[in-house]
Amino acid sequence: MSKDYSESFLKLLNSITAKRPRAVIQHIIEYGYITSQELKDTYGYNHPPRAVRDVREHGIPLITYVLRVQMAETLRLIDSVTLKMSSM
């Protein structure tokens, strides 16, 4: 996925050293997105919006999607976050 981003943007992403935003950024670079459930299950972040906010506070633009998934009789909302392409 990293080939989709400009070299200067990747340099900015890689300059983030704080643990929580770095984990979010690296996951998005590798997989293209991260969900609230992945933040909880994989990284143990009990407040996923805080982890995403940390990334935004470092000046990294993100796009947030809310997906509705219907499983049997249950309607579930899934938050998904991806990097906003930047021409930096």
Tokens standing for residue 54: 């940390």
Q: How many CB atoms lie within 10 A of CB 53?
A: 15
Residue 34 included in any domain = yes
pLDDT of 81 over the 80 cut: no
Q: How many domains does the chain have?
A: 1
pLDDT recorded at residue 10 = 87
Residue 88 included in any domain = no
Q: In the chain, count of helices (H) and strands (E)? A: 4, 3
What does the pLDDT look like over 2-61, one tens digit per residue?
567 888 888 999 999 999 999 999 999 898 888 888 899 999 998 888 999 999 999 998
- What domain range includes position 19? 2-83
The CA distance from 4 to 79, in Å, is 22
pLDDT of 1 over the 60 cut: no
Residue 24 and residue 55 in contact, taking contact as beta carbons nearer than 8 Å: yes
